[in-house]
Amino acid sequence: MAVCGGALRAYLQEKRELPEEPLIAFAPVSMRAKGDSSANNQVFGMLTSLATDVADPIERVHAVHASAKDAKALVEDLRAVAPEDIALPGAAALIPALVQLAFALHVTERAPFCNVVISNVPGIPHPAYMRGARMVAEYPMSIVTNGAALNITVMGVEDALDFGLVACARAVPDLDTLRDALVESFRELEKTAAPLEAKRA
């Protein structure tokens, strides 16, 4: 989250469009209790500040951590009352109708509740092979929606994290620039954190 926040801050600064208020990320989270292996959907979501208004990488990490901690506490409070599975007969026919209704009511023209969707999907923690070829990376693809024209999904393969970026071409026409900003944001955080890690050691 903090790396994404740093990348978005740099990206928007370059365009002179960085808002004073921090960007808000919608992050899907699992509602599944530890050890629960039931075959149903138990997913909710939380809103987290990306601290794009914070210049220092370490301070940004602390700000994002505090925001995420509060959001996760709220999710835990909701776990007891959330339905274990969501199954709606006729949803395939109902969803297009709801989309048309949203456009008719101009719901999509109102201010979004988040700026970006960021999802962390647990990957394969051990080496995986297919016909003898070892998997070295897994780049996820997700979707964008009205009001949230950028989706960043992260998947793990062994001890690496792979970032998949999907965006509306009109909202983010230069996605490769944001990709490069992600790399620089990680390097900046790594460089800033190195002396702190050395002191702890």
Question: CA-to-CA distance for 129 and 200, rounded, in angstroms?
Answer: 38
| Percent of the chain whose pLDDT exceeds 90 | 44
Asked if pLDDT for residue 96 goes beyond 60, the answer is no
Chain Cα centroid distance, residue 150 = 9
Higher pLDDT, 35 or 46: 46
Query: Which residue segment(s) compose the domain that 115 sits in?
Result: 2-82+103-184
Query: 2 near 60, Cβ under 8 Å?
Result: yes
* Residue 198, domain member (yes or no): no
- pLDDT tens profile 55-74: 999 999 999 999 998 887 77
- Split into its structural domains, the chain has a count of 1
Instruction: Please report whether residue 88 resides in a domain.
Output: no
Looking at mean pLDDT, say which of 41-50, 81-90, 148-157 comes out highest. 148-157
Mean pLDDT of 160-174: 92
Other C-beta atoms lying within 10 Å of the C-beta of residue 116: 22
Q: In the chain, how long is the greatest CA-to-CA distance? A: 60
Report residue 91's pLDDT band, with 50, 70 and 90 as the boundaries.
Answer: very low
29: domain CATH number is: 3.30.559.30
Task: Kindly report the pTM of this predicted structure.
Answer: 0.78
